[in-house]
Amino acid sequence: MALSVTITATSGAAADGIAENAAFAVLHDGSILIDNKILIFTLSGSAIFTDSLTNTTSRVTSVIGSASVSFTDLVGETVIITAAYQDDPLVSGYTESTFVDIPLVLEPPYIEPSFGNIIDYSVIENTIDFIVPPWANMKVGDIVHAYIGNITAWDAIYRVEQNDIGNSIRIVINNAKDLLFQYIDKTLVAYYKVGDIQSPDALYYVVNAYIRNVSIIGNRDSDGSALHLCAFNSLTGNPIKVRWQYYLEDTWQESARFTDRHPLKELHVSLANQSGSITIYPMNTAAVGDSNNSIAFAVTLAGKLVTWGGRLEWAVPPSNVAALSNITAIIASPNIVAVLDTNNTLYSWGNNAVGGNLTAIVDNVLTAICNRSAICAITDGGHLNAWGNIYAGGKLPIGLPVENGYMSVSAARGAFCAVNRQGFAVAWGENNFGGNMPKDIQNINNIVDVFATDGAFAVLTDIGVVRAWGNGDYGGTLHKSINNAIAIASSSKAFAVLRSDNTVTAWGNGLYGGIVPANIAALRNIIAISSTDGAFCVLCDNGKIYTWGSKEYAGVIPPDIVNKDILTVSGISGAFSYITNKGSVSGWANSGTFNTVSDHFYRTAYRLTRNTPINTFLCMDLDGNIVSIGDKGSVGNLPPGINNMLRYSEFKF
């Protein structure tokens, strides 16, 4: 007998480089099995052995003369596997093994940077990456043809190299800013081909900004400022247009800046054609008192009311309020405090020495405001409810239509003015300080908002017309018509109006900002106005600010202020604060410049005490850390543990 090799093999494995076929060889001399001898195995075609990763390997025969091998392939083909005796290669055997070509399945491509299926145009620089996922049977020499099409076409061809096998392919798209500009607010289609096989489409929506990259800065406060809330891209630091909408209201305003007229309401911010929104929580800090003795209040995440500072007997929260754990918002004036809970119940208390009973519990409150000695609330259905000093508006006059769909209310020092959904306004309170509305203004039926100084009111119509009444020393006399107004701000004795051409005008007491200096009147790029009790500050689209009014009330910017890159400005009685696009916060008063705080990105500088000489701001950063700037006084020394107790906003799907 002579030596011979018998070989058998399996077939049918997928040609994916992973699945294996196997071969089994026996070296024998007739019926005698030959052990401990070396067999050399070879493969034809593209197949490789799993141990050597080449087309050749060897095995030593076992006690029963056998040896086995496994092998893979990336090509659907029939290969020949040969087993030869090393000592005499002519002693050999061979057989066939078939690999099955599997259908080429491609995954959709993806683009970086992106957020899900959103491409934020604002963060794109010069390039983006077109990513092709790996596919089965990927091999050197495969040709990938990548495409972006449907408006402005782009394509690129890529040849697969050895180091690409099993990995994603990254194709760089240059001049991406120009390419993507054509797709803003549109859908971009991306796909690729390997040979004749096309991948599924990847659909991306290109937006000027992505909602998750939007941050809001500014105060929840109707403090006499205009357009003081600002939406900006947290990645670029630039303001962006968003939709502002109060909770449960049907209408929304699209702009980068917003005047908050209802600080007791949740304010929602969204972007067109994007899911999710930012909830800006209601006003949650306030203070009462005077320059010598002030008390501050804050609503915590747990719905509790905390206080710190001096001591005023009347300002101590009543026991029923102290027991609440569902408070959502707070408002105050120097003599009044009121909180709103999750059931829309308003609890108020105050210094009854100013006249009238300020303690009340009112249900179904939509919004409310305090003047110096009275409160007015709007309840479900737009009903008016007032209490406190009857001479300051704490009692609704006989004949006033209290159930007339009111939507907003403003307060002077001793009077109120409310606007209903039909565009009519009503006023009551101290006659000489805004409580007596002229008949011609009573007949206006397109009023959209109302603003107040201490002794006068100004209304804004839907076509930009402004009308005013009240005490002339407080801005109650408008000497010339204003027909293109978009926003109104107020100090204690003057009004300022931002017009549609980004210019500003003012009237009222000249010492309190009623006269705009010529250099500021000439500006054509004003985008927001803030105020103290006696001065105004305008913000321009280049990030610079300008002031006028009383120096005592911060009407002069100190020379050491770095006047650039400012996003928002806030005012209290005698000081301004500002936040830059880098998140640093600072400010100034007549006494000088405050220390700049730049250890975090600050989103708000709450004013604690309007209408008192104390100039204290409570600043919160993006993480909830809190510091105070300005005059410390009795409320500037923050209580321990207040960090992360307050909330400003939250992203929600």
Question: Which strand (E) or helix (H) includes residue 320?
Answer: helix 319-322
Give pLDDT tens digits for 42-65.
999 999 999 999 999 999 999 999
Average pLDDT, the chain: 92
Q: Report yes or no: 497 and 482 within 8 Å, Cβ to Cβ.
A: yes
Q: Could you tell me the two tokens for 604?
A: 């708000």
Output the pLDDT for position 613.
47
Between the alpha carbon of residue 168 and those of residues 108, 114, 144, 342, 404, the distances in Å are: 12, 17, 12, 51, 65
Kindly state which CATH superfamily the domain 3-100 is placed in: Immunoglobulins (2.60.40.10)
Average pLDDT over residues 568-581: 91
Over residues 182-230, the pLDDT tens digits come to 999 899 999 999 999 999 999 999 998 899 889 898 888 866 788 889 9
pLDDT above 60 for 463? yes
In angstroms, the CA 543 to CA 559 distance is: 16
Are 317 and 306 in contact, with CB atoms under 8 Å apart? no
Going by C-alpha positions, the residue among 214, 309, 382, 303 that lies closest to residue 609 is 309
**Which of 378 and 616 is assigned the larger pLDDT?**
378
**Would the pTM count as exceeding 0.85?**
no
Interatomic CA distance for residues 325 and 313, integer angstroms: 22
- What number is the average pLDDT over the span 71-94? 95
Q: Give the E-state strand segments of 300-424 in sequence order.
A: 305-309, 327-333, 336-341, 346-350, 360-362, 365-370, 374-379, 383-388, 406-411, 415-420
CB of 82 within 8 A of CB of 3?
no
Tell me which of 62-71, 97-106, 157-166, 431-440 is least confident.
97-106
Q: So what's the pLDDT on residue 603? A: 74
Task: Say whether 110-207 and 3-100 share the same fold.
Answer: yes
The answer to whether residue 449 scores a pLDDT higher than 90 is yes
Please give the C-alpha separations between residue 488 and each of 224, 361, 423, 494, 500, in angstroms, as whole numbers.
Answer: 8, 32, 17, 11, 12
pLDDT tens digits along 396-406: 999 998 888 99
In which band, very low, low, confident or very high, does the pLDDT at 1 lie, cut at 50, 70 and 90?
A: low
Q: Residues near 426 by Cβ (< 8 Å), separated by ≥ 6?
A: 400, 401, 404, 417, 418, 420, 437, 442
Distance (Å, rounded) from C-alpha 282 to C-alpha 327?
Answer: 10
Query: Residue 17: what pLDDT?
Result: 87
Among residues 219, 330, 228, the alpha carbon closest in space to that of 620 is found at: 219
C-alpha separations of 600 from 443, 554, 581, 626, 641 in Å: 51, 26, 12, 10, 18
């782009």: which residue's tokens? 154
Count of alpha carbons within 13 angstroms of residue 458, beta-carbon side: 34
Predicted confidence (pLDDT) per residue in 11-40, tens digit: 999 998 899 999 999 999 999 999 999 999
d(CA 604, CA 622): 9
CA distance 646 to 640: 13
Distance, CA of 252 to CA of 246 (rounded, Å):
8
Q: Over 70: is that where the pLDDT of 525 sits? A: yes
Digit-coded pLDDT (tens) for 537-556: 999 999 999 999 999 999 99
- 3-class DSSP state for residue 446? coil
* Percent of the chain clearing pLDDT 70 (strictly above): 98
Name the residue with higher pLDDT: 291 or 420. 420
What confidence category does residue 621 fall into, taking pLDDT thresholds of 50, 70 and 90? confident
Map out the domains of the chain as residue ranges.
Answer: 3-100, 110-207, 214-278, 489-551
Q: Which residue has the tokens 């290109």?
A: 206
Collapse the DSSP code of 478 into the 3-class scheme (helix H, G, I; strand E, B; otherwise coil) and give the result.
coil
Among left, alpha and beta (phi > 0; psi -120 to 50; other), residue 197 is: beta
Q: Can you tell me whether residue 208 is helix, strand or coil?
A: coil
Span 483-497, mean pLDDT? 96
pLDDT tier at 609, thresholds 50, 70, 90: low
pLDDT in tens, 163-192: 999 999 999 999 999 999 999 989 999 999
pLDDT of residue 638: 83
- The per-residue pLDDT for 608 is 64
> Does position 502 have pLDDT exceeding 90, yes or no?
yes
Min mean pLDDT across 342-346, 417-421, 615-619, 621-625 is at 621-625
Mean pLDDT of 414-423: 96
CA–CA separation, 395 vs 376, rounded Å?
Answer: 9
C-alpha distance from residue 280 to each of 268, 333, 350, 487 (Å):
6, 22, 27, 21
Q: Is the peptide bond before 113 cis (omega within 30 degrees of 0)?
A: yes
Q: 110-207 architecture in CATH? A: Sandwich (2.60)
Which has more pLDDT, 473 or 225?
A: 473
